[in-house]
Structure 1
Amino acid sequence: FLFENLPEKMSFLNPRDPSIDFHNRPMPVVSQPRLEPLLTEEEEESGCSVDATGSTGSTESLSFAEGRVDVYLRLRSPGTYAPGQKKLYEATMTGLKVQCGKKNASGQSKDSCTQLFSFTKVFEHLNNQRDIFHGAIKQHIENEEDAVFLTYGTSGSGKTYTLLGTQENPGIVPRAVKMIFAKYGNKIAYQAELKFANGSFKVLDEDRAVQEEMVRRRILNSPEAQSGVFNFEELQRKIDHEEDFRGNASVGECVYIWVSFMEIYNERVYDLLGKSPVGPRPQLKVLSNKGRPYAKNLTYVYVRTAEDVIKVLNYGLNHISCGSTAINATSSRSHSLFTMLVIKLSTPDNLSCVSYCFGDLAGSERLKKTENVGNRLKEAQNINKSLMYLGKCLNVLHENRLKKQKTIVPFRDSKLTVLIQSALLGRENLILIVNLDPIETFYEENMHVLDFSAIAREIVHPPTPEKKIKTARFSILNATAAQSAQRALLDENFKLKTANETLLSENNYLLDENATLKEENDQLREKIHDLVNSMMEKEMRIRRNLVDTSREHLEKQKALLDKIHQSEMMAQARAHATEIRKLQLQIRQLEEEIVEIPSSGEDESS
């Protein structure tokens, strides 16, 4: 992996800390669990067979080929160097020069040397997300080549940013999604007639297609899909501003696109698109079909638009395992694999399938720097172990180039290496994007990453054989003129059936809603009846109270009037008595006067 015309003063690095360099790590005493029992079980169920590469290892010859693994380097911005901090890394178009050497007691370097690492291409921190996509990814999608794209590096080096990006700076996955759907355009079938699952193609009848549609709606209509990492409208606006993807699907092609999303957490495989379980998440078995590894019962979602894929991606990211370490506040604690399968049915009877797998490998990390304890410590150990086995596989493949007696490649020691076995063997293109944080703090970790990438860069694969075209088994879907019309009718029938299912579902919902409203109405009627009765009773009580109060008031008024009348009568009686006494007195006086008058007359006459 060294450049030509190196400086005269060159040397190799001293051996690394065993916790960093997998060559010097002590191997486990207990052998790793093998997957043969699982493979045997699946073979009996499906009748599929495992080829030579599906045994406990692989001795496939790679010495006669010229193709190499594409290894790209992306450098993160180092920021401002601290006073006295030396610049250790110098990048060229296709290489990285690293200053190395030991330090004495005073901190000065001694026995300094320069080591060069070569890459397919180097992207410095000034290169943006578009540069990465066009330089490393775009040509494989244009050529419709099976490919596994892996981001590798230390924790916090920018792997997830490169793969997914952000809303403002979309990564390679959103751009690849937009390119794929722009490429095939209106050739994508509305109804899912073909599916690739559990390692084989399947033709779906109408009932199974409706079931797949229900799975699709369950995920796309979920809150996790609607409000996730990416907002499709803004994402599309950003990508359309930077890219100009064009379609080039052939006339008569019918395209079916499926996506899956899984993670490998603590050496266990989990489905990120499955239904949320009540208890612990179910683990998926890793099996093989004719040497092609796959995760049994992994959920595949049929997608018709780029927006569908972004929603599925949002849903899966919401269930992925993340955690906080001393190095990275949102560190991925698992390896994740997001896969898009593009199945093409061409005119007149050609069937092909292209797989694009995007893998985000969890970062290798030194335990003393991450300060991991408990579950984080266990996660870090499993991450480092799986990356170590990946390095072992690459190393054996590299060494087998020059051997007549090939060494068995230990794919089965890790779930990760089993699942990407086809890419490691050259059946699919392997594109490794190495992310590096070029600061002195992570010098040892970066050297381990660079050693890893150097081994991967030296692997030589045989020429990829041209894909065999499937014909007879799927002749029912041949794209003849009559069958094209039939497919259009089937699509229309499926749309109507789906619409009918939707209307029935809505009708059932409305019936349930109507029954609920009727029940509520009856309850309200009962409440109103009770309220009316209660109000009438209250009104009667009030009226009775008013009558009683009025009666009491009248009685009081009558008694008062009687008293007043009696008082007036007594007053009048007293007045009359006084008047009578006066009159009697006057009468007596008059009588006395009358008596006196005759007596006075007698006196005069006498």
Structure 2
Amino acid sequence: MSNSLSEQSSLGSVCEEVRPSFLRARDPSVDRCFRPRPDRQVRLFDEIQEEGQTDYNSDADVSSSSEDVSTALSEASNDTTTDSNAALVYLRLKPVTNISTSYTITPKGNVLTVGPSNDASSTSNNKNKMEQHYSFSAVFESNVKQDEVYRICIAPRIENQTDSFTVLTYGTSGSGKTFTLLGTPNHPGIVPRAVENIFRMNASNIYPQPALKLEKGTACILDDDALAREEHMRQTLLESCVGMNADHELLEKTIKAEHDFQTIVQDEVSVFIWISFVEIYNELVFDLLSPPSQHSKLSQQMAPQPRKSLKVATNDGKVFIQGLTSVYVKSCSESLKLLHWGLQHVSYASTSINSNSSRSHCIFFIDVIKYYSSGVVVDTSYKFCDLAGSERLSKTRNIGSRLTEAKGINTSLMTLGRCLDAANNNKKLKTKSQVIPVRESKLTMLLQAALLGKEKLTMIVNVTPTDLFYEENMNVLRFSAIAKNITFKQPVKPVNKSRYSFVVEKAKSAAEEIIFLRSEVERLTSEMQYRLLEQERLLRQELVGSFEQKLAEKQKDYELTLKRELQIQQRIHDAQIESLKRQYENKIEDLREQYEEEEIERKRRTLE
């Protein structure tokens, strides 16, 4: 009895010590009666339907009842909806020699059935459970080609032209994520096909100069100096892509043979296409298109220079990377050259699972800016993300730097899963809003537009259907089940319903009128400048004509004056000549008379 009393007193003292307060909150693993909470809370009454109704869109767990196995759905086994705003999740199976019998595709073609593992050494929790069904927007078997994957997954999003979207490839290491996204020269992935599709659609409207660019998430018009810098950087990067023409020609030839992309003619619109490429390595963001400088080229010959990490920031709800290199491209060939040039700087390493495993998450950005003659600017962003594969230390046997990389990869993927889970819970509990932890990882910060429902999301899940990767595939399928519940929220313009609404409306109309009047002022100013220039031209012509006429008259008067002067001088000279002539004639006459007199005098003297 005394022992029980002592135990109760000690328990009371413990309860008194751990009594929750605002300064010392209760441990979330126990409830207010100090009982341990279950790991998973099950709401028993949420799934009850009224009589005669069936919920095909519920997110219930897999049922353990053996009587109704065909209707046992996991959280991912939702019926394919026709909602264009829902996230699209596709499954692609990697070609393998020995396909496990645990994976089967239903006759519908969009549901994957996963049974218990055939591997006796497996430690999966699903080993003794019933089969699970995972539904997808579409399931691509191992014999489906790259062009079919693009037509179903990406082409409808690209041809929409108005909505930004994010594409994720997710799966275990070596499951074919990079092949699906990038492909090979003979089998191009979705990124080269998307680039060709974008340029083919806007071929008639691409502007020749990088006059418009996204700066901190906002479209800005570049001045002459900035335009010259962008053009110089573009030429520098293209000159670095030497020796890649053969692969690009083969890529373009293959894409043109498999697709017939059409050019959309748009009047009075200019299109600007910018690309950028980053990788997230050990939670650090690195620029893969950073232009090489002369100093870095010389220093790399001696010792490799450490790369500079970039900072992720936000501006008015828009995420951007400070100091990221964004290159203006004019053709599909230039884009593919820069893409492959950036891939040369991606971190790859060999593991026991994959000999060429990507050790980072890579994101390829395509920004399409359209400038209409009315002054409206529309920017559309496409993000293609190649997620690094989730890894198990027991299978990869990583040590040293490989182990550090694996920790960073798994941490960022876990944060991405938490964000998807929070978004899924917000969809279920419409009255409560759970904070989505997008700021806990650089990957989720860059993808937060899709995670928060501001952009459309497309995920391609890659699975290796073998017993060796059974546990990893189950985690991947659960991850995709959550991602399918992300919904794109159409931006709604806020309506002011206060008593001052008329003031807001008048302010809006006044702002529109100000914009119109400014455009009119610019138009009238340009017209006035043109008229002034025309008047100046006419005045110059009139002045030149009058000056020419005056010069002609003066020249004529000068010629007449000169002629008169010549005549006067001629008369004077003639008179002088006549006077000299008479003088010389008189002198000659006098000399003749003198000569005659002297002759007579000489004769007289001779006679004497």
What range describes the TM-score normalised by the shorter chain of this pair? Answer: 0.5 to 0.7
Equivalent of 1:260 in 276, 287, 309: 276
Distance 1:230 1:174, change over 3 A: farther
Q: How does 1:276-425 map to 2 (within 5 A)?
A: 276=292, 277=296, 279-403=305-429, 404-425=431-452
CA contact (8 A) 1:152 1:361 kept: yes
Equivalent of 1:428 in 450, 455, 458: 455
Distance 1:473 1:180, change over 3 A: farther
The code of the aligned residue for 1:440 comes to D
Q: Which residue of 2 aligns with 1:140?
A: 157
Larger CA Rg, structure 1 vs 2: 1
Q: What is the deviation of 1:86?
A: 3.7
Q: What is the deviation of 1:461?
A: 3.5
Query: Aligned partners of 1:2, 1:451: CA distance in 2, in Å?
Result: 13
CA contact (8 A) 1:166 1:230 kept: no
Q: Which residue of 2 aligns with 1:94?
A: 110
Tell me the SS of whatever aligns to 2:412.
Answer: helix
Q: What is the deviation of 1:415?
A: 0.4
Equivalent of 1:205 in 223, 234, 259: 223
Distance 1:461 1:253, change over 3 A: closer
The code of the aligned residue for 1:429 comes to K
Query: Aligned partners of 2:238, 2:346: CA distance in 1, in Å?
Result: 17
Q: What is the deviation of 1:349?
A: 2.1
Q: Taking CA–CA contacts closer than 8 Å with sequence separation of 6 or more, which of the two structures ends up with the larger relative contact order?
A: 1
Deviations 1:229-277 (A, max 9, x none): 9722111111111110011141111111100000100000000011345
1:248 aligned onto 2:274: no
Deviations 1:422-456 (A, max 9, x none): 11111111111111111110000000000000011
Q: What is the deviation of 1:291?
A: 1.3
CA contact (8 A) 1:164 1:171 kept: yes
Deviations 1:213-244 (A, max 9, x none): 0110111110xx23359722111111111110
CA contact (8 A) 1:423 1:430 kept: yes
Distance 1:472 1:143, change over 3 A: farther
Tell me the SS of whatever aligns to 2:279.
Answer: strand
CA contact (8 A) 1:257 1:340 kept: yes
CA contact (8 A) 1:102 1:112 kept: no
Equivalent of 1:191 in 185, 205, 209: 209
Q: How does 1:551-570 map to 2 (within 5 A)?
A: none
Query: Aligned partners of 2:340, 2:411: CA distance in 1, in Å?
Result: 29
The code of the aligned residue for 2:288 comes to L
CA contact (8 A) 1:428 1:464 kept: no
Query: Aligned partners of 1:348, 1:67: CA distance in 2, in Å?
Result: 29
CA contact (8 A) 1:69 1:457 kept: yes
Distance 1:315 1:103, change over 3 A: closer
User: Structure 1 stretch 393-402 or stretch 257-266: which is displaced more?
Assistant: 393-402
The code of the aligned residue for 1:185 comes to A
1:216 aligned onto 2:197: no
Q: What is the deviation of 1:77?
A: 1.3
1:119 aligned onto 2:136: yes
Q: Which residue of 2 aligns with 1:38?
A: none
Q: How many residues align?
A: 427
Q: What is the deviation of 1:80?
A: 3.2
Q: What is the deviation of 1:111?
A: 3.5
Q: What is the deviation of 1:78?
A: 2.6
The code of the aligned residue for 1:339 comes to F
CA contact (8 A) 2:158 2:198 kept: yes
Tell me the SS of whatever aligns to 2:423.
Answer: helix
Q: Which residue of 2 aligns with 1:75?
A: 93
Deviations 1:111-137 (A, max 9, x none): 451100011111111111011111010
Q: Which residue of 1 aligns with 2:190?
A: 172
Q: Which residue of 1 aligns with 2:287?
A: 271
Distance 1:471 1:283, change over 3 A: farther
Alignment root-mean-square deviation, CA = 3.6
CA contact (8 A) 1:192 1:302 kept: yes
Q: Which residue of 2 aligns with 1:540?
A: none
Structure 1 residue ranges, 4+ long, deviating more than 4 angstroms after superposition: 1-7, 9-13, 101-107, 464-467, 470-475
Q: What is the deviation of 1:4?
A: 11
CA contact (8 A) 1:148 1:357 kept: yes
Q: Which residue of 1 aligns with 2:180?
A: 162
The code of the aligned residue for 2:142 comes to H
The code of the aligned residue for 2:290 comes to G
Q: What is the deviation of 1:401?
A: 1.9
Tell me the SS of whatever aligns to 1:368.
Answer: helix
Q: What is the deviation of 1:311?
A: 1.0
Q: How does 1:524-563 map to 2 (within 5 A)?
A: none
Equivalent of 2:475 in 428, 441, 448: 448
Query: Aligned partners of 2:523, 2:394: CA distance in 1, in Å?
Result: 68
Q: Which residue of 1 aligns with 2:169?
A: 151
Deviations 1:187-227 (A, max 9, x none): 111111110032222211112111000110111110xx233
Query: Aligned partners of 2:399, 2:153: CA distance in 1, in Å?
Result: 37
CA contact (8 A) 1:199 1:292 kept: yes
Distance 1:351 1:466, change over 3 A: farther
Q: What is the deviation of 1:417?
A: 0.3
Q: Which residue of 2 aligns with 1:8?
A: 67
The code of the aligned residue for 1:251 comes to D
The code of the aligned residue for 2:172 comes to T
Query: Aligned partners of 1:103, 1:4: CA distance in 2, in Å?
Result: 21
Query: Aligned partners of 1:269, 1:2: CA distance in 2, in Å?
Result: 38
Unpaired runs of 5+ in structure 2?
1-58, 75-82, 300-304, 495-510, 528-608
Q: Which residue of 1 aligns with 2:588?
A: none
Distance 1:3 1:230, change over 3 A: farther
CA contact (8 A) 2:311 2:322 kept: yes
Q: Percent identity?
A: 41
Query: Aligned partners of 1:307, 1:101: CA distance in 2, in Å?
Result: 46
Q: What is the deviation of 1:79?
A: 1.7
Tell me the SS of whatever aligns to 2:384.
Answer: strand
Query: Aligned partners of 1:197, 1:359: CA distance in 2, in Å?
Result: 22
Distance 1:104 1:304, change over 3 A: closer
TM-score by length of 1: 0.65
1:233 aligned onto 2:249: yes
CA contact (8 A) 1:66 1:462 kept: no
The code of the aligned residue for 1:341 comes to D
Deviations 1:399-437 (A, max 9, x none): 112332212111111000011101111111111111111
Distance 1:72 1:96, change over 3 A: same
Query: Aligned partners of 1:473, 1:159: CA distance in 2, in Å?
Result: 52
